[in-house]
Amino acid sequence: MHYIRFLRAPEVEQGESRSSLKLVLTVTTDLGDAYLAPHNPIELAVIGAYTERKDGVDRLTPINLSLGCTLRWRAGMRVLKFEVPLPAQQPVETIQVRPASRELTALSTTDIISGGQGWIMAAYADIQHRQSDTHPASVCFRSLRLPTPPTGAGSRFEAMQLEEDIGMSIARRIWDGGIAAMSFVAAICSDNIPQESSTTALPTLRTILRGQQQRPLNILELGCGIGTLGIGMARILSLMGRERATTNILMTDVPEAEARARANMARQSDALREGPATLDFEPLNWEDGQHGIFGEKVRSCAWDLIMLSDCTYNTDTLQPLVKTLTALHSQGLQGCHAESSVVAKVLLATKPRHSSESIAFDLMAADGWVVREKTVLPLPVLDGEGQSVEVYLLEKE
């Protein structure tokens, strides 16, 4: 997949008669290690939104800001700079930059899991109209539609927003493995998505997530980053629309990840307020976890499912990661919780980037972990060789 990225925060420039919006962006892979090089130029659209009161209710009204502008991304480009005029009467609050073609745009989890469209993910940003002493915006956000169970009115979607850093840093942003795994979970949990071969794989995971538990389902995420998979899981399970026990999801990562993860948790507060899923965060360093040193929240229960995505690329951290998984498994068997003798399963999603990542599976096998189920999710790629995300369900013998 490729991602439109803001290299600088969108900037409003005040003119004599009207204002304009200055944008600087690029189109790269998740790690920013390759720029999109399409065979044919890709036309981009800039969609603004402003609040309009209709029938006593405030609603966001979209407006195409790029009408009359020719905005194209071509092979060989690294940066695209341009301006678009802003409407004089309606103060635009948010903008979206995406391909003009719907087929090229990843707007929903269905687009990503289908493999047949959704090659480029749009970028969103809030617009600051007034100059102030505050620092310029340092974050933008992604918006992805989640499928809901079908109703008499037909299928519908709810949007999930995740903020990430502006710029080219690979930290604090969405990566392919997390977004593909989250889309896969949406596929197996939603009745209105055609069950194709890739989405009917991992039947045990399907049973865990869709089954009728007599007690809460406890899910722990390692290396959550900005929260793509954990937050996505919480939103998806809250949308399932069937009676079930509560699902408790605890996201963990190094302390430096906490601020962005909690900011993204806050973006879901309204959507999760009435749902059956709870979401929390606790710092966890695998250097501590490998020795069974966990925080109060991690120790508070036995975990039915431990999940991680995009965590096997750094071979230096693989040994403590595997030992942390084993320590968590042992915690579930100690019988110190009401859910004693819970046998944790591990959901691992990875986009293979280099051959050395296979060391992770060697280390897990040496610790007694066995791959029980596996599926491969093709990623939508517009140029270059095909790419995929591998999803595994592992158990300890």
DSSP for 254-293, written as a single string: -GGGHHHHHHHHHTTHHHHTTSSEEEEEEE--HHHHTTT-
Q: Is residue 170 part of a domain?
A: no
Q: Is the pLDDT of residue 165 over 90?
A: yes
Task: Please tell me whether residues 231 and 292 are part of one structural domain.
Answer: yes
Same-domain pairing of 100 and 215: no
Domain boundary residue among 134, 165, 196?
165
- On whether the CB atoms of residues 306 and 268 are closer than 8 A, the answer is no
Domains: count for the chain: 2
Q: Which of 139, 165, 191 marks a domain boundary?
A: 165
Kindly state whether residue 190 falls inside one of the protein's structural domains.
yes
In a domain, 42, yes or no: yes
Which domain covers residue 50, as residue numbers? Answer: 2-165
Q: Are residues 132 and 207 in the same domain?
A: no
Q: Is 171 domain-assigned? A: no
Q: Pinpoint the alpha helices (H) of 267-377.
A: 269-272, 286-289, 296-299, 318-332, 359-366
Which residue(s) pair with 215 in the sheet?
none
Q: If you ran DSSP here, which 8-state letter would residue 105 be given? A: E
- 98-123 burial: b if 16+ Cβ within 10 Å, else e: bbbeeebbbbbbbbbbbbebbbbbbb
Are residues 340 and 241 part of one domain?
yes
Model confidence pLDDT, tens digit, residues 367-389 = 999 999 999 999 888 877 788 99
Q: Mark whether 297 and 385 lie in a shared domain.
A: yes
Predicted pLDDT of residue 212: 66
- Listed in sequence order, the residues at least 6 apart from 348 whose beta carbon sits closer than 8 Å to its beta carbon are 307, 308, 309, 311, 312, 391, 392, 393, 394
Question: For 213-258, how does the pLDDT look when each residue is reduced to its tens digit (9 = 90+)?
Answer: 678 899 999 999 999 999 999 999 988 755 567 899 999 999 999 9
157 and 60 within one domain: yes
Which of these three, 107, 141, 165, is where a domain ends? 165
- Among 91, 18, 97, 21, smallest CA distance to 52 is for 91
Q: 247 lies in a domain?
A: yes
Same domain, 153 and 181: no
| Residues 182 and 139 placed together within one structural domain of the fold | no
Residues 271 and 223 in one domain: yes
Same domain, residue pair 104 and 231: no
Q: Read off the CATH number of the domain in which 232 is found.
A: 3.40.50.150
Statement: residue 133 has pLDDT above 50: no
Query: 250-281 burial, b if ≥16 CB within 10 A, otherwise e?
Result: bbbbeeebbebbebbbebbeebbeebbbebeb
In this structure, the answer to whether residues 186 and 302 fall within a common structural domain is yes
79, 210: one domain: no
30-67 pLDDT, tens digit per residue, is: 999 899 999 999 999 999 999 888 877 888 899 999 98
Q: Quote the pTM value.
A: 0.91
